[in-house]
Structures are given as structure tokens and as C-alpha cells.
Amino acid sequence: MQDKFNENQENSRRRPTKNSRRFAIIATLVFLVMVMGAGLGFITASIHTMPSLKGDIRPAVSSQIFDANGKLITTIHSVENRLPASINKVPKNLQHAFIATEDARFYQHSGVDPRGILRAVWSNLTDKGISEGGSTITQQLARNALLSQDQTIKRKIQEAFLSLQIERQYSKEEILEMYMNHIYFGQGAYGVQTAAQVYFGKNVEDLNLAECAMIAGIPKSPNYYSPTSNLKAAKERQGVVLEQMVKYGYIDSLSAAKARATEIKLAARPKTATAPAAYFTDYVIQVLIDKYGADAVYKDGLKVYTTLDLEMQNKAEEAMKKLPTMKTDENGIKQPQGALVAIEPHNGHIKAMVGGRGNDQFNRAVLAERQPGSAFKPFVYLAAIESGFTPASIIADSPVSFGGWSPVNYDRSFHGSVTMRTALEQSLNVVAVKLAQQAGIDKTLYYAQQMGISTLVLDGNTNDRNLAMSLGGLTRGVTPLEIASAYGVLANSGIRVEPTAIVKVIDRNGKVIEEYVPKEKIVVNERSAFLLTDMLKGVMTNGTGTGAYFGRPAAGKTGTTSDYKDAWFVGFTPDLVAAVWLGCDNPDYLNGITGGTVPASIWKSFMSGVADKYVARDFVKPSGIIAARVSNKDGLLVNDPNNKDGRSEIFVEGTQPTKVSTVPASKDSKDNKDGKGKDGKNTNNDSTAAGEQTLPPPPARGDNTTIAPPPPPKPNDGKKN
């Protein structure tokens, strides 16, 4: 009896559970039906509102570019430079290059390739780059010819259905022909025939394999891979295309190798009148095309509001007229060339940009990767400060060898024991190398990368993980834009803000499609940034950069490569950072020009010209920094009873020590006995003589081990057209 009662009780408990499950299943089914209905409705609406295959009925409208004050800089006209070519005249190598690179299954799919989409999705999830994307050639044709570049679900649905229609209506050969005649190749060139003439001065049917591979590589990012703007990047992209052609059996490895070795002869570039801020507007157009596509830029009537200040731009162009002329090269370009870029460090706004003398299209401010020389040393000193060194730390400027390499100073002499401040002011090479070894090579590279240098090579047989990098001997080099942005971190108290040229983009209907929001990241301790900034102020008042001093609180660093092929001055105030580079395109020699001469003079001229834009102020000292005076004679602090005549003020972090150093000088410097150089002058103007062994070890802060930096960021190749 009791058992039966218990069974009834259990059954009564089960019934609500079964009913709940049944209700949940029904509710889920209803929800799925509603979602499917809404989805089908959305798809149906998207199909009904998509354009017909007869073409886009909207008239083309020119876009406009404005400066930071709303002044019109230039108008981008919608006239297309297009010469159609029959598929019969397009070389098979060029056809195969496009198919191998853009859509390897072009002849197998029906407009949309699920396998290609899955491959692209997997690549994005695993962050592994692939040579061809998820969009088919047919989809790219539909998007470029009939749709916008909006990254919306509606546009993607329309693109897919249009692609299916195109495949039913046209043959594969017709689709490929339309695609190659419609696609944008940079430099105002639409279609393969125009591209062949613009870049190589020949008809499309006359292109060789090397030229075909280069042409096919351009659409991935038309302005970045344009051979006339960036031949180095174009050659790298050409290699990728040839690898894809080998992979899919269109050519063999021997043919690919011969094509890589084939000399590329570009067509002579026509001389054009210099437009206002030409290099800057070209840069803005490149960014817009990579993001929205060429048709949006040239036909959709965009209003682009930029960060440029035309008055500051005019001052930059005026300052760059100080460039000397040593020769005119075979392309009619005056040499040496130069670049200047100025950025507001607190918001990343590019206020001025000069990419050369204005008689060519290569924007050196953005694209030229050149050796920075001593302009790279601040990253070494930052790593040292983060490892416990202070501006008053004593380092022996004495002979040293590393694996058979013996660094030397610019003046070919040694200066005895000096403070770290003096070593930076005088740009002593030996001290920089010793500091890099003590603080750690990877730590220096880590901070350089965190501050914005993306060109570092950290892997492979040839890389930057060596002591030569402390003197700016890099595998690739740096660009003026990136090194200016990196120095801006110091001006902005350790906060990095991504540089930008565009504030807002509005479409033809007045809709805001892009609005810039500063991307900020703390990458350096603010106290370390201040200490290094204070040392760099001394470069301009007491050191190699005095030629750049213009009467306001400013900090900066000169840079000169050992072979006199590159000269730099990079400097900043609390409100503006500017980088000036000088060098030949070849590169050729500068006949002894150093960073402290012409580049410093150009920097001073520009900064003086724009000074009234900003209120004069000094760098803000953060909490935790104390000031102390040390003797020029013996390195003792002023409050030490043995110190009689302290003069020089230094800043140190944390608790004030009783002495900087009292260790006798090392005996390994033959030319610096008693702290005197070869000329007999006293070189110990910051502290007592101290041997190399007095270098303090990195403190136990948790960062005293070698820091393995993350891999360099991938270059922004843009999106496929």
C-alpha cells in the first residue's frame, strides 16, 4: 500500500517536468519559425531592392577632401581612365594570375564558393593569412559594378544573388573579361589595358610573365602595391602571385624564378602640377580606397574631413625648401629627397605631411623604410630606465667588443666615464650598445614595437635581435610617420595614440559612415617617459640637436647612419611631434650631412613657423619624480656635505640616493686616464669616473628578465576590390 502511494507521488512529480519540456520545445520551434520568417523576409526584401544587371543608375559624383578647419583641399573627380580589352587580347598568364590569386575555383563554382568562404572564415579565426579571399571573382564583379562597399548583411546577400544571376547570364570568359576591365589598379587606372599602359607603357597583350604577375597583385590594395608608388611592396606581392600560379599548376617553379629575376621597367611618369598637400591627399585616398573601394571614392560623392591644417602644411612645405640639391637622377627627380610629418600626440591627428619634393608620387613620409641611425637610441635608453638606470647612472665610454664587433663613437674617440644623460646628449655609440646589452635586446625591441614601430624583424636568419639595432642598424628600417608617432608616446606621458588622417566621412546623402575615435593605449610608465623626455631636452640645449632649438621647451634626437645615407631629426613639444628625414632614393651618400645640420634646421624652421598654434608650456612632471643637483666635479648630490659646488639638476625616480657613484674609473680606457679625452679636456662633466662594473643590474620589478616581444603587426594590405 505504501509502495503504491510512493509511486503515485513520483508520477505526480514527473508530470510537470514533462509538460515543461513539451512547452520549451514548442516555444523553441515557434521562435525558430519566427526567425526563419524574418530572415526570409529580409532576404526577399534585399533581393527586391538590389540593382538590376543593367547597371547602376546613380550618376557619378566627385568626392571632396577638407582640412581640419573645414577648408577644401581638393576635389576627387569621377572621370575614369578606362580602355576596355577583349579577353582574346589578355595574355593567358594574366588570366591565370588573377584566377590563381583571387579565385582558384573560378571554373568550378556557380558564382558563390562555399569552400572559399569556409577557408576565409577559418583563416580569420586562426589568424593565418591566405593568398585568395572568400569572395569569388563573380562576387567582386557584382560588388564593384553594381553595389557599394558597405560591410552589411544586406549587401552580402545582394552580392550573392547577383553573382548567381551573373553566372546564369554570362559565360566564364565573359565574366572574367568584365572583371578585368572593371577592376581598379591605382593611379587612376581602371582595367588591365589602362594598367598596362600606365605602369609599363605597353598594351596588355605585350605583357611578360613578370609584368602579368605584378599587375594581378595590385588589386589587393591598389595604392599600396602600385609599382610607381611602392616598387618594393609591388615586388613582394608579385612573388606571392607567382607562388599561387605554381601552386595551381599554371606555371612551373623555373618559370616563376625567372619571372622574379626579370627586371621591371616602369613607364616614364608624366610631370604633373603640384596640388595642395599632394602627398597627404594621396595618402588619404589610399586609406579610403583600401576601406571602401575605388568606386566609392571616385563616384559616390564622399565628403572627407581630415586632420590636416593647411596653414601648418604650408609651413612644412616652406621648411622643406631648405633641402640641398646634389644631383638629378635618371628619372628627373632631384636628390636628395626628404620627408616631414607632424602629429598631435594626444589625439594622433596628422597635421602636416610632406613626402618629397613634389615631383613624383612616392610618399616617403609613409612608405620609405630607412635606417634611423641614432634616432633609434631613445628606445634603448627607455629600456635601460625601465631596468633601473637613471639619468645619473655612470657608464664607461671605453673600448668593448662583442663577438668580434667593436662599436666606435662618431668622433672615433672615447670619453671615459659619463652619466647616461651625457651619453644621450652627445649620442655616444659605445654607451648605447652597452646599455642595450645590459637592459636586454628584446626589451629594447619590445618598447620600440609597443610605441608604434611595426617594421621590426624578429624572426628568420636575418633579424633585429642583435646589438647593432641599438645604433639603428635595422633589417628594414623605419618610416617617418611611425617614428614620429613613437616619439609622440613620450610627449603624451607614455600613452600611445594611433595616428590618423581622417576625422569623419559623410556619404552623398549626408549620412556619417565613419567618425574617428582616438585609440589610446598606455605602453610606457609615465615616470619613465618623463625621465627620457628630460634627457632628450638636453640633446637640444647641450648636445647634438642644438641646431633645432627654437626657444620653447622641446625634446628630440638626431640620427645619422654610419654611411651618411640617412639623416634624421625627430623632436617634440607637449603638443606636437615632428620627424624630418633626408636621404637619396638610390640610396646614395649625403656628403657628410648629419641629423644635427639640415634636418635639425628644417625641423626648427617648421616648429618656429607653427609655434603660435600652441601655448608655450613645459612637460608635466608626474608624481614620484624628484629633482636633485649633482656636482659637475665629483658626482655627489648637493645635500652631501662633501659637495661644494653642485650645479647640474637631474631627475630620478623614487628615493633620492646619497651618492651617484664613487667607484674609480676603469683602467681599460687608454685614452681617458683621469677622465680626460684625447684632446685633454675634462669629459666627466656629470659625475665621478666609474668603471663599467658600476652599471646597476635591472631591479627586481618583475620586468628584469628578457621580454620576448610579440610578432610585428602585419602590414595593412587593405581589402580586395
Could you give the residue numbers annotated as active site? 102, 374
Residue 483: left (phi > 0), alpha (psi -120 to 50), or beta?
alpha
Could you tell me if 86 and 181 are in contact, meaning their C-beta atoms sit under 8 angstroms apart?
no
Could you tell me if 606 and 354 are in contact, meaning their C-beta atoms sit under 8 angstroms apart?
no
Three-state DSSP at 314 gives helix
CA distances to 78, 391, 395, 439, 575 from 703, rounded to whole Å, are: 55, 19, 21, 10, 31
What sign results for the dihedral spanned by CA atoms 673, 678, 681, 686? negative
User: Which residue reads 617634440 in cell numbers?
Assistant: 572
Between CA 236 and CA 292 the distance in angstroms is 24
Three-state DSSP at 300 gives strand
Taking residue 168's Cβ as centre, other Cβ atoms within 10 Å add up to 9
Q: Which long-range contacts (CB under 8 A, 24 or more apart) does 664-668 make?
A: 664/689, 664/690, 664/691, 665/396, 665/416, 665/417, 665/689, 665/690, 665/691, 666/396, 666/398, 666/417, 666/690, 666/691, 666/692, 666/693, 668/396, 668/398, 668/399, 668/692
Between CA 184 and CA 206 the distance in angstroms is 20
Could you tell me if 77 and 132 are in contact, meaning their C-beta atoms sit under 8 angstroms apart?
no
Helix H segments across 75-152? Answer: 92-102, 114-126, 137-146
Q: Count of residues for the chain?
A: 721
Could you tell me if 173 and 165 are in contact, meaning their C-beta atoms sit under 8 angstroms apart?
no
What is the 3-class SS of 40-63, one letter each residue?
HHHHHHHHHHCCCCCCCCCCCECE
- Dihedrals φ, ψ of 283, to 5°? -65, -45
Among 83, 65, 611, smallest CA distance to 286 is for 65
Contacts of 104 (CB under 8 A, 6+ apart): 116, 132, 244, 248
Taking residue 689's Cβ as centre, other Cβ atoms within 10 Å add up to 26
What the block records as the C-alpha cell of 571 is 623632436
Contacts of 272 (CB under 8 A, 6+ apart): none
Could you tell me if 475 and 462 are in contact, meaning their C-beta atoms sit under 8 angstroms apart?
yes
Between CA 571 and CA 557 the distance in angstroms is 6
Among 85, 326, 383, 342, smallest CA distance to 206 is for 85
What the block records as the C-alpha cell of 508 is 552623398
Between CA 193 and CA 86 the distance in angstroms is 9
- Dihedrals φ, ψ of 74, to 5°? -160, 160
Strand order across the beta sheet in which 512-515 lies: 72-76, 63-66, 303-306, 502-506, 512-515
Q: Which helix (H) or strand (E) holds 343?
A: strand 337-344
The end-to-end CA distance of the chain, in Å, is: 80
Among 528, 545, 530, smallest CA distance to 424 is for 545
